[in-house]
Chain A
Amino acid sequence: MSQQSTVEPTEKAPAPSFKERLASVDWRRYIIYIAFVVVFVLFAIMLGNEGFLSRNNLLNIFRQTATITVIAVGMTFVISCAEIDLSVGSIAGLSSVVSAMTIANYGLVPGIIAGLAVGALVGATNGALVSLLGIPSFLVTLGMLGIAFGIAQWITDSAPQPILDDTFNTIFGGGDIGPVPGLLIWMALAVTVGAVVLARTKFGRQVLATGGNRMASEFTGVNTKRIKFSVLLISGTMASLAGMLYAGRLQSGRFQWGSGDELSAIAAVILGGTSLFGGSGTIIGTLVGALLIGLINNGLILAGLESSQQQVIRGVIIILAVALARKK
């Protein structure tokens, strides 16, 4: 008995074998990538004859996903900071019409600047109301959703604003660079810059910290008000870029462009593994999330489903993916 009271040396746990390591891999984190591959393979088998695998169709998936992805990149910053931005869809619409009207009156460059500026302005307003007045972003941006949509409809009298400037239409979405659609380049640019900023800069780290624990971050010297302001500013600006991509692709500005995109963008972000409660987020995940949604849309159209049926299946897949990815 007496030896029991002596101090036992604490043995070190043996290094885990490869098998154990494999078992300890948290595959739930990668569910979105798995889901993407599974859905892709499924469609490739079932819809191969429908032209799913044709180059043109695959590029179409990217084209149709580009605007959502651009919005979702901004949204990833907002959500991983534990905020939300519901106004992005309306900002896209407002930017498209402001840009179109300015081009018609003042030319290309002022039009581009005006389009981006209007998004930045709305985003800054959102940010100021959230960070300075402390109003929850859900409410601020819900209000802004209506305001931006209303203004866009008002200043255009609900009429589409055609864009006759070919340069604009080529830059923002219409044109191809070699075999690569311009939209794809915008998308890659947004994703690359977004991913680097979120994962590899001081600002990105502070966004995640603020989302993870605002008070601890503030105590640590992070200017959390500025961070909140910035993410909403970024989100507004990205939304306005998306609006101009709509305008360029469809050669007109229209208040309806982007309407409802906030929900698709939020879905893409959450599917991509960003925590709805803030603190963690990945832009690459968001890209795959957006692509998965685009893939599903495309496949269901090729399969000849009615849009009502598409909505049901899309909803089921989204819930399924999030359910599988959730932590135990």
Chain B
Amino acid sequence: MIAVQTPEGSTEDARPVVQMHGINKSFYGVPVLRDVDLEIRRGEVHALAGGNGAGKSTLMKILQGVYSKDSGEIFIEGEPVQLNTIQDARAAGIGMVFQEFSLIPSLTVAQNIYLTVEPKGRFGLIGDREARRRAARVFADMDVVVDCAALVGSLSTAYWQLTEIAKALAQDARVLIMDEPTASLARHEVAALFTLIGRLKARGISIIYISHRMDEVYRIADRITILRDGKRLMTEPLSSVTPEQIVEGIVGRQVHGALEYRERDASTGGEVLLEAVDLHSGQRVNGISFELRAGEIIGLAGLMGSGRTELARCLFGIDRPDSGEIRVRGKAVDVSNPRAAIQAGLALIPEDRREQGLVLDHSVRDNILLPLLDQTTQGPLLDLGAGKRLAKKLIDRFEVKVTDPDKPVRSLSGGNQQKVVIAKWLGTEPEVLIMDEPTAGVDIGTKSEIVAIIRRLADSGRGVIVISSEYPELLAVSDRVLVMRDGTVAQELRRTDIPDEETLQLAVLGV
């Protein structure tokens, strides 16, 4: 049913711009890619999907000249090429829009676009004015307005991305690799990005689109290639596969309603665990009050900048409240720093796991044990054996896939890294868990596992606050949804009062 061969001749102008054939790659004897084929046609949006660790990023890094392949061939416009360096790939017309933007904040937009390929001005010096003129032309072709003389650091992430795209186009990229391009965009910015992608397609530029978000893939991609365990599973036009097939292909098993809401009866009548009373903090938290009961899951919905993250920071003592009160089990607590919050029984899974959640170069075990050092000391010394056992227990309990807990956490996939953060925090046995975007950049299999963990926690009588920009997931877990706007709770909805995603979306937009 699902053919491995690419169906031929679906469109007239289907000449492949990029052909990767029989690509193999191993790291330290562990095969990461096995005989992978990928074919990108002119002017198509080609979605690349797969779980964390399926080999997507390795394959893309080979195409970008970052890694060298062990075997296999790459053809650009039918010509065999060797992509040994990033410069080779760039010369071959491969452009990358980085997930973590590769821009230098202290330089201007134009300077960034022409970094290392600066146009020459008079006397062979760098011609900043010429760079600005050319950059303006690139943006004009993209049909967007960006101030080329502005410092990148002063612009919002949406403009960073536009600059990234312009940077690739300025170097005559014929293929653009976009890795989770909508991850840091607001909804209307996503729409603008998709319009732009449409325009690029019309110019014959091909786009390799990596995303975990199924709705986006269906909106803009023409074909999809799914990788699993380093092998290509299928390449199909999106018109001929169902979302279920894709999800099943990525996960490798049937997922039935993992992201569906399940009626939970623990949601009412529990003791009030956490209470915020007229909380004010900085610009973004302007008088927030709510109660969280034992066994309850509250979802926080809202646009970027609506104060969700700031509320979490305030509750966890990272930012001090200017006024108002935080009560745990009815008692006012002074959470002036994270230590006090932990003491009061709170835990926060922060928004940015790499920056705020993990010490990337330290081992999985050391990361898990960091908040638990008191549990593994004997007298003044750390009890390494006890630490090992405790870490092992948590790794098993949260099914972190790791061959060796001594490996640095950096070597894990995004989903597994997130599980390490979760394991580390749940080891502290918090009564209230606050999770800020717990499934961002996590594959769909891990996503459903995290959803299950959240439910289990609430079932065991703890309170959970989930912040998420992904509505399906928010609706899957929340018993109540607080819609935030301008630092206040604009609306409080019981889950049963939200029939579908659209209703929530409208509530968030305040329509």
Contacts and interface: CB of A to CB of B under 8 A. Distances in A.
B253 A212 contact: no
A200 interface: yes
B373 interface: yes
Given A5-B1, A202-B377, A212-B362, A219 B370 contact: no
Which range holds the interface residue count of chain A?
A: 20 to 34
B362 A279 contact: yes
Contacts of A208: 359, 362, 366
B314 to A, nearest CB: 14
B65 interface: no
Interface in B352-391: 355-362, 366, 369-371, 373-374, 377, 380-382, 384
B4 interface: yes
B229 interface: yes
A217 B381 CA distance: 20
B377 A219 contact: no
Given A1-B4, A5-B1, A24-B28, A218 B338 contact: yes
B350 interface: yes
Contact of B361 (A7, A196, A201, A279): A279
A196 B379 CA distance: 13
Contact of A13 (B30, B338, B361): B30
A86 B248 CA distance: 58
Interface in A185-225: 196, 200-202, 205-206, 208-209, 212-213, 215-223
A209 B380 CA distance: 18
A223 B339 contact: yes
A16 interface: yes
A313 to B, nearest CB: 33
A201 B2 contact: no
A138 to B, nearest CB: 20
Contacts of B382: 200-202, 205
A4 interface: yes
Interface string A270-293: 000001000110000000000000
A5 to B, nearest CB: 4
B388 to A, nearest CB: 14
Nearest to B31: A13
Given A7-B252, A220-B338, A220-B370, A213 B360 contact: yes
A202 B373 CA distance: 6
B359 A219 contact: no
B381 A200 contact: yes
Given A16-B29, A196-B381, A216 B358 contact: yes
A308 interface: no
A216 B316 CA distance: 13
Nearest to A275: B361
B506 interface: no
Nearest to A226: B339
B370 A217 contact: yes
Interface string B225-251: 000010001100000000000000000
A16 B26 CA distance: 15
A61 to B, nearest CB: 32
B24 to A, nearest CB: 15
Contact of A219 (B5, B350, B362): B350
B424 interface: yes
A10 interface: yes
A217 B373 contact: no
Contacts of A222: 370
Contacts of B356: 215-216, 219
Contacts of A49: none
Contacts of B5: 1
Contacts of A205: 366, 369-370, 373, 382
B362 A221 contact: no
Contacts of A56: none
Nearest to A16: B29
A4 B226 CA distance: 13
Interface string A1-41: 11011011010010010001000100000000000000000
A8 B228 CA distance: 10
Contacts of B316: 219
Contacts of B338: 218-221
Contacts of B360: 212-213
Contacts of A1: 3-5
B348 interface: yes
Nearest to A199: B382
Contacts of A4: 2, 4, 233
A10 B234 CA distance: 18
Interface in B16-68: 28-30
Contacts of A196: 381
A208 B366 CA distance: 10
Interface string B94-114: 000000000000000000000
Given A1-B4, A5-B2, A201-B382, 13 more contacts: A1-B3, A4-B2, A4-B233, A7-B253, A13-B29, A13-B30, A202-B374, A205-B382, A209-B366, A212-B359, A215-B356, A216-B355, A219-B356
Interface of B: 1-5, 28-30, 229, 233-234, 252-253, 316, 318, 337-339, 341-342, 348, 350, 355-362, 366, 369-371, 373-374, 377, 380-382, 384, 424
26 contacts: A1-B3, A4-B2, A5-B234, A7-B253, A8-B229, A196-B381, A200-B382, A201-B377, A201-B381, A201-B382, A202-B377, A202-B382, A205-B366, A213-B360, A215-B356, A217-B359, A217-B370, A218-B318, A218-B338, A219-B338, A220-B371, A220-B424, A221-B339, A222-B370, A223-B337, A279-B361
Enumerate the 8 nearest inter-chain pairs by beta-carbon distance, A residue then B residue, closest first.
Answer: A212-B359, A5-B2, A202-B373, A213-B359, A221-B342, A221-B339, A221-B338, A219-B356
